Amino acid sequence: MEEWFRPFGIHYSAPGDATRSGLPDGSLDLYFSVAVFEHVSVKTVKALLREAYRTLRPGGLTYHVIGMFDHYTTMDPSITQVNFLKYSDFTWRMLGQNKIYFHNRLRESEFVTLFREAGFEIVDKRSEVDVRSLEALESMHLNAKYRGFDKRDLATQGAIFTAKKPG
User: Using one digit for the tens of pLDDT, what is the confidence trace for 26-46?
Assistant: 999 999 999 999 999 999 999
When divided into structural domains, the chain yields a total of 1
Query: What residues make up the domain containing 10?
Result: 2-164
Say whether pLDDT at 141 is over 80: yes
Rg, Å, the chain Cα set:
18
> What pLDDT is recorded for position 116?
98
Convert the pLDDT of each residue in 89-128 to its tens digit.
999 999 878 778 899 999 999 999 999 999 999 999 999 9
CATH number at residue 80: 3.40.50.150
Say whether pLDDT at 74 is over 80: yes
Q: Which residues contact 96 (CB under 8 A, 6 or more apart)?
A: 72, 84, 87, 103
| Distance separating alpha carbons of residues 18 and 44, to the nearest angstrom | 10
